[in-house]
Amino acid sequence: MEEVRASRGPAGRGGRGTQASAPVKPIALSEVQAAEHSRLSTGIGELDTVLGGGLVPGSLVLIGGSPGIGKSTLTTMALANLLAAGHRTLYVSAEESAAQVRLRAQRLPGPASLQIPVIAETDLDAVLATLEQEHPEVCVVDSVQTLHSSTLSSAAGSVAQVREVAGEIMRVAKQRRIAVLLVGHVTKEGSLAGPRVLEHLVDCVLQFEGERERTYRTLRAVKNRFGSTNEAGVFEMRDDGLVEVVDASARFVAEATRAPGSVVLCAMEGSRPLLVEVQALVTASELVPPRRVVAGLDRNRVALVLAVLGRHGGIGLGAADVFVNVVGGVRVDEPGADVAVALAVASAAKRIPLTGGDAPLACFGELGLTGELRNVAHGERRLAEAAKFGLGPVVEPAVCRTLNAALTQALARTQRPDDLAA
Ligand code: TYD
Ligand code: MG
């Protein structure tokens, strides 16, 4: 059962047809006035990029992520930068006390962090009244699930409440041209709690991902009315806040182990290439069925790769536990990762390190069920990124048409001339 607010006017839906509405004249799109959006820079390059060039005044941005990922940190830092640039800001904390917000802000760099005007309030009407009075240019609401509207009796965080809260905030935001950053939690199942409803309402949905215990986090746009959803940003959580990782590939490649079970994947984070290390471990299993533990990749996709590896690559793992991990807490959700999983698992199973000379072996490509290697988007950019870090030749669909060709090529690469001589 879902609680809804009683309709405002009795004429509402029941009164359809009783009142004649005047017709509206359609006009050609070319005659519609569309002003270029002026953007507010948040001072955080990666965030601006993901937003499509900065915050649009009057827009509603939903930032989702699991607890502890750094949503409050990111939004506080953005507000501090905006404040330092002379914009009016407001931080609405419905989750933490003002003192807790202060303690966080103290850790952040720059004096502006402590100048941010803050209210700790859970009552929606009080927040709306404050917005009307203070009319900030940018406002953070942390979080949409903890604000409560007294017109509904259901608990804060319920679908009806979340929808009401977001709807009312949007009304004021559009009226006063306030850019609002709405913070939203993610449920255990991984979807934005309640906010499936919100996705339609807001202009932009950003997803903050990564694992709390790890340092790297990615921010990506799931929906963006003012930009592309191809952009992603990489951050690192440090003692003094989130730091943008501009050259993430360099780090991951430098950290790659070159041991058996490790390969470098030329992945795409949105429209940006990113080199990440994929690791696998294969051990004799004592369990039936054996264990398949996967982090940073889709579990079903890995199961598919293992099946193809068994059937077409001759590497059966029916009696082995298989662990696959993307290093650094990065999540890769694209078919281009298939061949990296296959090569890492094969390398681990055979205990042969796969390296291209002294550099780690780089690869990308999708595996088909018949053992073929399929093309994936942005091949050129992936190759260019690998070349930038001296990785190559890359094992990829343009060179190897099948899984077996990829395995052969990867192994051939590994045999250094002196190994062969020995
Ligand atoms: P937080 O922004 O509160 O996460 P969220 O709002 O998404 O729940 O911060 C998450 C974690 O980051 C918290 O456990 C403490 C840590 N942290 C740092 O490591 N360095 C910092 O500078 C800050 C502010 C937090
Ligand atoms: Mg928080």
pLDDT at 242 over 50: yes
The tens digit of pLDDT for each residue in 6-25 reads 766 555 454 455 567 889 99
pLDDT at 195 over 70: no
Rg of the chain taking only CA atoms, in angstroms: 26
* Distance (Å, whole) CA 239 – CA 260: 34
The tens digit of pLDDT for each residue in 363-394 reads 999 999 999 999 999 999 999 999 988 887 89
Q: What is the pLDDT of residue 7?
A: 64
Q: Please check whether residue 375 is in contact with residue 342, taking contact to mean a CB–CB distance below 8 angstroms.
A: no
pLDDT at 413 over 80: no
Q: Please check whether residue 205 is in contact with residue 222, taking contact to mean a CB–CB distance below 8 angstroms.
A: yes
Q: What is the pLDDT of residue 38?
A: 86
Distances 240 to 71, 80, 110, 237, 279 between C-alpha atoms, Å: 14, 14, 10, 8, 30
* Pocket-testing residue among 96, 103, 187, 237, ligand 1, by greatest number of atoms within 8 A of Cβ: 237
Mean pLDDT of the chain: 88
* Distance (Å, whole) CA 421 – CA 51: 55
**Sheet strand arrangement including 118-120:** 118-120, 89-93, 138-142, 179-185, 60-65, 204-210, 216-224, 232-238, 241-244
Q: What is the pLDDT of residue 348?
A: 95
pLDDT (average), residues 98-122: 94
Q: Comparing C-alpha atoms, which of 348, 341, 346 is closest to residue 282?
A: 348
Going from the Cα of 241 to the center of ligand 1, the distance in angstroms, rounded, reads 7
pLDDT (average), residues 271-299: 92
CA angle 395, 334, 373 (to 5 degrees): 35
Is there an atom of ligand 1 within 6 Å of 72 CB?
Answer: yes
pLDDT (average), residues 252-268: 90
